[in-house]
Each structure stands twice: as C-alpha cells, then as structure tokens.
Amino acid sequence: MVEKTHRIKFTLFRFLVGAFLFLQTAPAQSSDQLALISDVETQSYLASVIKPLYQAAHLSFNENNVFLVKDNTLNAFVSDGNLMFVNTGTLLSINNTNELSGILAHETGHIMGGHIVRQKLKMRKMQYLLLGSALAAGATAVSTGRGDAAMAVLLGSQSSALSHMLHYQVQEERSADESALKLLAKTNQSPAGLLNFMNKIKKNNMLSGISETDYFSTHPLTSERISHFSQAASKLKNLSSAHRLDNDLKLIQAKLSGFLETPAQIQRRYPQANATLAAQYAHSILAFRQGKLTAAINLVDQLIDKQPKNPYFYELKGQFLFESGRVKESQNFYQKALSLRPETPLFQIMLAHSILEGSPDNMQLNRAITLLNKSLVKSPSPLAWQLLAQAHGEKGNTAMSLYASAEFNYAIGNLTVAKRLIDNAAQNTADKTLALKIADLQQRLKEDLDEE
C-alpha cells in the first residue's frame, strides 16, 4: 500500500491463481490506473539493483517503494516519495543487469535533482498562465467582438507556456543523464548499458515510425544522448558491464516471459532445444498455462533438484498445486519457500491464503491470522487485509473482520465503502486496542473525504 499522499489506483496482478490471481481493486479500469505485479523474485532483484544507486546518491531506500508495472513498453519512472516503477517490457528487453542499472541510475538522478517537486510547481505555474490567457481571451472577445482574436490570444499563450515547460523538462533529462553517469562511476559500473539501451530505444522508434524533433519533445534527442553516452563509455572502459545479478536476471526474464508472453513468443525466446535453467523455468510455466499439470510439475521438480535452495521454485510448485485445487498439498511448498526466505510478506500471504482455502480449523485460522499480521507490519498490502477480514470472519470476530475489510477498501480507494464498514466496526467492538485502530482509520478517511 502506498502512503495516502501517493496512493496509486491499480489493478493488482500476482503470480497466483490461474496464470495470475486477478484482484480488481477499483470499480473500473481508467487511464490513471497501473497494473502492478507483485513477485518476490523480481522485486528482490530490482531492490538489489536500486539500493546501491540510492546509497551512492545519499537517498534513503525502502524496498516497499519498488514497483513492477505490467506494461510491455521500454520505460521506468519515479514519483513522489522516491517511488520507483519499472515496466515488465524493460526487464524483458535488456541484455544484462548493467543496462537496468543505467536506466535506474537515470531515474535516481531525477530524485537527486528534485525534478519531481519542481515539475509539480511548474505545472501549477503553467495552469495559472493558461488561466490568465483564458481571461485575456475573454476580454479580447468582449472588446473586439471577434472570437477568432480571442482564440489567437489563447493559443499563443498556451504555446509559450508549453514551450517554457518542455524546455525545463529537456534540461532536467540532461541533468538526470549526467547524474546517472556519476552514480554508475561511484558504484563501479560501466555506462555501456545506458548506451546499449538508448540504441534499443532508437531502433524501437524507427520500427514504430516515430520521428524525433526538437519541438514538443520532453527529452534530448536520442541521437544526442547516444553520442553523449558513447563518449562516456569510451572514457570509462576500465569499468565492467558484468554484474553478479546477471544469472538472476535470466531466471526473472524466463518467469516474466512464461507468465506474460504468448506461447509463440515464449517458444521463440526459449526453443525446445534450449536446455538452460531459464528455458526450463519458462517452459514449466507455459505447460501450466496450457493445462499440462503433470508436465509442469515434472519440470519444476527438475528445477528443485538442480537448485534445492531456490525458494522461488518451491513457490512456483505451490502455485501449480494451489491453482489445480490441491490446496493442502500447496501449503508444504509455500512453507518451504518461506523457510528459505523467512519474513517475506508475499510468501506469508500466499501460505495464509492456502490455509484459508483448505477448510481450516481454529488453530489453522490462528496461524493464517499470525502470518497476515506479520506481512502487514513489514509491507501493507490490500490482499493481506482482504484475507485477514476473511480469517476473522470465519472465527466469528465481527468487529475485526469489519475493520480489516475497511482497511482493504481504504487501500484500494473505495473510501465511501471503507467509511461505512469502519463506522459499523466502531459500533461492534468493546476492545480498546481495536477501538484505537478504528479511530485512526476514521481520521484518515475524514481527511481524505474532506480533500475530495
């Protein structure tokens, strides 16, 4: 869950249930929503790449502020609160971790430069300029009686304001590029990855028929950036582009491909003759998606034999079993994954989910509640609140179930529903600790509803 001032409307995708457990977190998909994927393996990898860059930039790092966006375009971006977003398309397109480091170093440069705050201030200023031009246009129309003159004033002012805005954005992109090169040098990483990625963007633009011009561009020309990074790479030949996480990236790309790409794309990326661990990973997921459960489990068992201490292979087998209705069997593999990566919130949620779907007795319900509470302490999640509401409901704890349901709806932006639930919870509890939690949520809701 993102802090309330940075709340993101999103559709949560998890590597769970079907190819995914789809959890609709808003009544309808809109243009300002992001489809986010929660996957421990990928997000841990991203955190390992980002953390050294943040440290070099003297920025505080929080692994809960790293998000994976289900989008096949080549992009990464930052927002208020030092939140970092990386598209799945970027991860699937890079050749090595050095490329990703360069991309994320650039985004970290935006944070270092305070560009996000400045862009907000400039947008506000631009709104005032446009409002002023609209008033001027109205005055022109009244004095001359000519609507075309008013339109000329309005369009002229808008063009001037937008050009002013874009000029600063281009300067900030150049500044972020410079910061990226400095951060890569500080972390002993080559700028070659940035150069490679910019060449990919250029090729992608050419294939898409995109023609770059200086006018109405928020970035320096790609050719300009390629030239700049090429010079930097030639000066820093001593820095290696090899990275200790490159093997991890290969497995992550296989997982993302297996879940997100079409069977034809997966086969092109990982032909049947490919006997690598990554290819086997992708093919196990593809087999599962195609309903070939026995083949999928056989492949993942082979992966476990080769890497018995890899928690993500046990997680995957747990998913296969859970999705296939063998819920109680899945618990053993989720538990194994959790034992290899203790205190991992998503593993705690997955194990709790499998317990709740397996006709739990009172002791098992308590176990699920403990797991969910632990996950919420480290990484608040809408799904954890939803499952916690279910667990308390099955135990007959009405007030606690209502409170958890209210937190779930608050997390996904259903404020009206959350208020109704939390007010109901307040009328159904005599527990002082719970009453304090209820009062806290009521206050948060009041502030947000007042803002709306």
Note whether residue 241 is domain-resident: no
Domain of 319, in residue numbers:
246-451
Q: How far apart are CA 439 and CA 285, in angstroms?
A: 45
Q: Are residues 289 and 418 in the same domain?
A: yes
Which pLDDT score, from 0 to 100, does residue 166 have? 41
Q: What is the pLDDT of residue 322?
A: 97
How far the first Cα of the chain sits from its last, in Å, is 20
Write down which residue in 235, 255, 287 finishes a domain: 235
Domain end: 176, 202, 235, which one? 235
Type of residue found at 418 = A
Q: Which tokens sit at 360?
A: 């739990």
Same domain, 255 and 181: no
- Looking at residue 233, its pLDDT comes to 67
108 part of a folded domain: yes
The answer to whether 154 and 137 have CB atoms below 8 angstroms apart is yes
Spatial separation of the C-alpha atoms in residues 447 and 215, rounded to whole Å = 42
In a domain, 373, yes or no: yes
**pLDDT at site 134:** 41
The answer on 161 and 98 residing in a single domain is yes
Q: Hey, what amino acid is at 327?
A: V
Burial of 253 (0-12, 13-18, 19+ CB in 10 A): buried
Answer whether 100's CB lies under 8 Å from 91's CB.
yes
Residues 323 and 372 in one domain: yes
pLDDT at 111: 86
Which pTM was predicted?
Answer: 0.78
Burial of 264 (0-12, 13-18, 19+ CB in 10 A): exposed
Cα dihedral 189→101→7→37 (10° resolution): -140
Nearest to 220 by CA among 263, 175, 259, 250: 175
Task: For residue 390, give every residue at least 6 positions away whose Cβ sits within 8 Å of its Cβ, in sequence order, or none.
Answer: 356, 401
* Residue 228 · residue 177 · CB < 8 Å: yes
106 and 178 co-located in one domain: yes
The one-digit pLDDT tens for each residue of the chain (452 residues) are: 223 333 333 333 323 222 222 222 223 333 446 788 999 999 999 999 999 999 999 999 999 899 999 999 888 888 877 889 999 999 999 999 999 999 999 999 988 876 554 454 444 444 444 444 444 444 434 444 444 544 444 444 444 443 443 444 667 787 788 888 899 989 999 888 887 777 777 776 666 665 554 433 445 556 667 766 667 666 766 666 778 999 999 999 999 999 999 999 999 999 999 999 999 999 999 999 999 999 999 999 999 999 999 999 999 999 999 999 999 999 999 999 999 999 999 999 999 999 999 999 999 999 999 999 999 999 989 999 999 999 999 999 999 999 999 999 999 999 999 999 999 999 988 889 999 999 999 999 999 988 87
Cβ of 447: how many Cβ atoms within 10 Å?
10
CATH number at residue 333: 1.25.40.10
Residue 142: what pLDDT? 43
* Same-domain check for residues 90 and 153: yes
Residue type, 98: N
How many domains are there within the chain?
2
- Lay out the sheet containing 66-69: strands in order across: 21-23, 10-14, 34-38, 66-69, 83-87, 76-79
pLDDT of res. 265: 97
Q: Residue 30 has what pLDDT?
A: 39
Statement to judge: residues 231 and 251 lie in one domain: no
Residue with tokens 């004095």: 143
Distance CA 204, CA 210 (A): 9
Q: Which of 173, 204, 235 is the last residue of a domain?
A: 235
CA neighbor of 332 nearest in space, from 346, 349, 317: 317
DSSP per residue over 338-383, as a string?
HHHSTT-HHHHHHHHHHHHTS---HHHHHHHHHHHHHHHHHS--HH
Judge if 122 and 262 occupy the same domain: no
